[in-house]
Chains A and B, each alone.
Chain A
Amino acid sequence: MAKRITINPITRLEGHGKIEIFLDDKGDVENAYFQVPELRGFEQFCVDRPADEMPRITTRICGVCPMAHHMAATKTLDDLFHVEPTPTARKIRELLYSIFMVEDHTLHFVYLGGPDFVVGPDAPATERNILGVIGKVGLEAAGKVIDTRKRLRAIITNIGGKIIHPVFGLPGGVSKGITEEEREEIVKVAKDTVEFAQFLLKLFDDVVLKNKTYVDLIVGDIYKHNTYYMGMVDENNHVNFYDGELRVVSPGGKEIAKFKAQDYLEHIAEHVEPWSYIKFPYLKAIGWKGFVDGEESGVYRVAPLARLNASDGMATPLAQSEYERMFDTLGGKPVHNTLAFHWARLVEALYAAERMLELAADPELTGTNIRNIPTATPDEGIGVVEAPRGTLFHHYQTDKDGILTGVNLIVATVNNSAAMCMSIKKAASGLIKGGNVSEGLLNMVEMAFRAYDPCLACATHSLPGEMPLEVNLYDSNKNLIRTIKRD
């Protein structure tokens, strides 16, 4: 009586992400697959283009985190053309990057991941969205969210040219500087943003941590994987989004590698499966052992919780104390509970806001020396940043005129692809017993991958934050026996 459950998250007609769950004769989960049915082929069609255009081409990989691609491409060009950005340019880049990080993390928490907690995993589906969040936190707080997002996005538009697909990054610098007047305005917004990030953490405290049901969910086994973790750190092993070395820690929390972006090929490899267009990166030193966790498996995770696990702390004081509080509460490092990604995301939002304020207060920000013109012959360049959804690698090879001959990209969410498959399977296995599929499954399975904030499809784009789900249950003759739909 083998059964198959298809979860087509975005409705059948969209098809950017799909889950297939197979049940055995007892009706328990035999296996589950998280498929990504999309490929656009940037790695190939960028070939023959001038490398200097990459910051404006690769932004179109993602319109939700275009800044991450813009910055990774720009840093790759620094490396490719062998040129350092001027100190002012470097600060402008990191400032805009910090603004983007806090804005993007906020969007996820309030619109996407947050409703599960703020409104509740078992609240009526119609309330488990941004409107439900507004109902719970009040209009004033909701207004703060919209207003903060708008102010942050306006700064990026002004300096970066466009908010969706910025244009200001060039090898050795940026195309436009910051005036003193603009700087003063940014300081104001930054101060409010620090307060805003603290407000979100307080909200998390009040509605999640004070509720035993939620805490049990977070620490429970259903959302737990013992994996390796990777994240970028500065010279003090503190989390950094813009620059530093990549550090990998084992499931036991031991540093097993620390390397420069330029050496990524020695550490990371990608596995291919015939049933998905997404590739599965793993740690080369450990090897691909399939969709399993533990020390023996090369599967690693990236993004907020992974970055916190892979670091020794945060570089700003308020974020540091939140970092300590998180690990104290959850029983020390590393934390393997997938739902803690949400908490880690807010700790990072606070860091990004504090970093924004630090950079905005720096008088060097308004310097006029914003570009170093490259003089060396281009050949090969590798650049990395921490995108909201994890480590993002760009790697270009060119001829002596800077025309691309080879491009390799490991996009943030892809690093987590194997872990997401595992999380789906574990959540489904924990929920489906004896062929019983409850409505609760829908949201619980969603929560397993929503924690990663995957940038695959509507999970990152949905407004008002609810992902439509439909589960079809077929009998062994492929007849539809039941449809569970959340509306």
Chain B
Amino acid sequence: MSFRARLLTLLVAVLLLGSVGAGAVLYAADRSARHEQAQPGGPVVEAGAVSLRTPTGGRELVFRNMAWGPHHDELATVPADRPDGARTASGVQCLRFHAAAGTGVCLQAERGALQDTYRAVILDDQLHELRHFPVDGIPTRARVSPSGHLAAWTVFVSGDSYAGTDFSTRTSVVDTRDWSLQENLETFAVVKDGRPYQAHDVNIWGVTFADDSTFYATLASGGQTYLVHGDLGARTLTTLHQNVECPSLSPDGTRIAYKKRVPGASPDAPWRLYVLDLATMTERATAEQRNIDDQALWSDASTLVYSLPGDFGSDLWTVPADGSGAATRLLSAAVAPAYLG
């Protein structure tokens, strides 16, 4: 082939491949524009006032609204007893969210010139920003302590490895009374099986608060995950149990709901929802048989709420905590829930 012929071939290929690439981008851009239009049959979402105070007209559920339309990704509320009812959207966008006792933690993306950056915003009961903290990666878990005094968040940090697959987590806790920040729980002393433990591959994620000084979380190291009990004053993490991820403490503080990596399960869907009794350290599977990759929420002393992939990103499901019953869908196109009241 002559040089001219080769150049011509290249030119044709550039045009062809360029059209394919441009087509793919246009198609995706068009699709993302459609996210601004409500899908037929989807939930009704209307702008309105959202407060994190204990509602006077009955319990409410607040969550990130995933339904397409102008209020996509905004915090929204529905009455807890009518989850299919009209949603009230707040105008505040969060990727992950949790709230308790009038304090909210909202993990947000900020559009940057080259790249999105992320921040954790502490909100008051009127969803006004009290303070924000830059975070180092993509948000995944958020929790507020029952008193509303402490907030915790976990982000995924990706080191700049060539394959881009070298992940670690970073978990921070802030005290909203004096704004003291524990930026990285990995700096806490780890006590594993009764002995001090040090490793460079320690990762902590998924805090759930017991009170304003102690919490539970996941610790991973050496390919194992552990349930740890954390002490903020002593700055320690003590392992309690193995194979526990994303713990969630029951309202009475006696049980932990968590995702367990089940041996023998398909490797692309290894996690099942379990509940651990802290007094006896016995665990029990819930009736939910699907793969759970979420930090569950206790809606009351006996019921768990969690997200599963759905038609519009994510749906919320519910299942009894004692292993009985069956999973039922609570809410479609919603993620990161918290109960008000």
| Interaction A to B | no
